[in-house]
Structure 1
Amino acid sequence: MQRRRKIGLVAAGLATSLLATLTGCGGENPLGGEVSLKLMAVEHGDRSGNSSQRFWDKLIGEFRFEHPDIDVDVDLYERDAIDAEVRERVAEGRTPDLAQTSASFAGYARRDLLYNAREVLSTHTQASITASLVQAGSVGHVQYGFPFSASTRALFYNKDLFEQAGVEEPPRTWEELLRTARSLKAVGVKTPYGLPLGEEEAQAEALNWMLGNSGGYLSDAGSYDIDSPQNIATFEFLRDELVGPGLTNENPATTDRQEVYAAFLEGEVAMLNGHPGLMQLALENGIRFGTSPLPGRTAPARTTTGVADWTMAFKENGHAEEIRAFLDFVYQERYVVEYAGTHTMLPVTTEAAYTMREDAAHKPLWPFIESLDVARFYPLGKSSWGPASRRLNATIGSAVLGDGVPRTVLGRVQSDAVAAEAEAETEAAP
């Protein structure tokens, strides 16, 4: 049984104290009545100074000043634990009003458990959300997932190791990446390229490489296309040109992302695909690094992998108007900028993105912010993506091993995904 990891409860104490001090000064709540919203959120901080709890304490206090009749209780969980907790609460009849997820929201939407964007977001808020995130948060062209935090991927490289190998520029193509990796290997670099295809987040690393060869998880028609010719060729390249010659970590199929990140921060990995949060960690560990677009087969990839945490609004408790008031408050520019900046993430609204692009303090994030407009996200609009991605994470790494056969491995993942989609459609049928 998965161990539950609840980070902490954001109490309403700050809000209560503020209201007691400012009694009679706050705006009246036109909704009437006393309502308590239950929110389950992800803890994105890695230290007390950037804890998500501090953000929510402050925001809820300010929200209660404007809406004194709406209380908000927030439970924080680690990102890899919250999805199971949400499923358990819904199954037990303890459904929250709002919950963040990194997994698919489509299953809840197909069971008619969620409010859609038109029901709980103002027109202004709907229009402010970045278009690529609106599309990724939709099921059948109706938005049910509301992005709260986002990130994209870029190639990170160690400048000191590059200088040792006489490499002046980051690679733009796969062939350049191979030449760079060989040069790094020749001067004794332990891991020229860090390739994490273990179960933690293989779906991200796999998509990074698929996109570099005009591939992906879906066809243009929206059906699963995991074993496409482009994807098979991508994994044959990884097996034969990168893993086989020893230019990666020893066993990519069992190597998780955090292991590769840790090795990069120790100066042992020269190149890897990483998210914006890796920048601060690299600075803290004294790593001189650079970032560049993901290399593609013949040119830099035109897109990149996008990842987001999504807020779902559940119908169970009937608090649509109160949820609307809270979400419209949360999506104000200043809060989106504050959360993204504090946690080295990307703003999810166009207004906040413009503000951060105009502020030199956020300059390291600018390339990531720009790439968000063209990022490719996981097919979360399919309720089958949950079981499909679990199968993918558990098996796709074997395709790059010496005895791996990409056509066979990707074919099995494709078959499982198609079967999961058929089962999901059957369950959703009236």
Structure 2
Amino acid sequence: MAEDAVQEALLAAATQWPVDGVPTNPRAWLIQVAQRRMADAVRVEVARRSRETAVFEREVRQEAAARDDSLDLYFLCCHPELPAASAVALTLRAVGGLTTAEIAAAFLVPEATMAQRVSRAKKRLSQLSRPFGSGADDTKRMAAVLRVLYVIFTEAHTSSSSPELRRADLAAEAIRLTRALHELVPTDPEVTSLLALMLLTDSRRAARTGPHGELIPLPAQDRTLWDRAMTSEGLRLVTATMSAGLSGSYQLQAAIAGVHAQATTADATDWTTILALYSRLEQVEPSAIVTLNRAVALAAVEGPSAGLALVDTIADELSGNHRLAAVRGHLTEMSGDTAAAVTHYHQAATQTTSAPERDYLLLRAARLRNPEEAPDDENI
């Protein structure tokens, strides 16, 4: 503000002195004018804040489910002047509590690239006259906030850096904030679906790990351990969004989670429906990860050869990502090519940064290579 005031004083000098003459003490004249300009700016800013506070108290605080301060921070940080990816990355780093490495892993980019993205976002905000604003333009920020909450939950569900598979505190916070957002806008189908997706996914947490923290994949989980209350709430929310049609990314992902939740056994999973949902999701939000998931569903419906052929189409995009090698290991194991499966599992183990995932992949490879010598889950 001081710099702006001095610039205005210099501008005033440039226009007035040629007409009125240079004052006796030019420096004192500039300081006095700059002080007046700054005082005017402060008065305007105080008045603006008072008006915004009055509007906030009158309109926002009258809502039955008022958004808490922490959720406000997410909306304020997701500035509409920033590119969506930059706003999400900056918010994850500044408010969400994720490290640059964790954010980079979520976006499938190198850590250095993500660091530059966050740095550029900070610089851009510093150039704005109102870098955060009042958060009143929520409709412009909603998509970015939803993405932030989604990434936080994804990192919490399968941590890329923690020695444990799941970060319970982070998952609980993501669900809490999404629930608060749903209370604020209960008719938004994407908000409702994101909450449903989190609940349906988190309902399986007790069955995802063994007694020593080892990873248990979905087909091998004891489904009696799934949280029935969370599953029921998640399915109810999914059903509530059906009238709006399956057009949003979170709606489709929640629907997929709902199909898994309704299967009483792994063999009873309706893979045909899941494949159709992934095909639709691929149209709504094209990405190599979505295609990779569709390849798994395709293999369950049409066989591993079809899944592997689809995986080959995205190999370049996911080069170096452990998910690609892990899926290849799974599909080649399905096809009976044990040697190739062992190779892919080992490759995935060297690429993942998650200790539980690495241990699971190595154990899987060991069981295929030496079925009689591989350790049982109880001995891990």
TM-score normalised to the size of structure 1?
0.24
TM-score normalised to the size of structure 2?
0.27
Structure number with greater CO (CA < 8 Å, separation at least 6) is: 1
Please identify which structure carries the higher helix content: 2
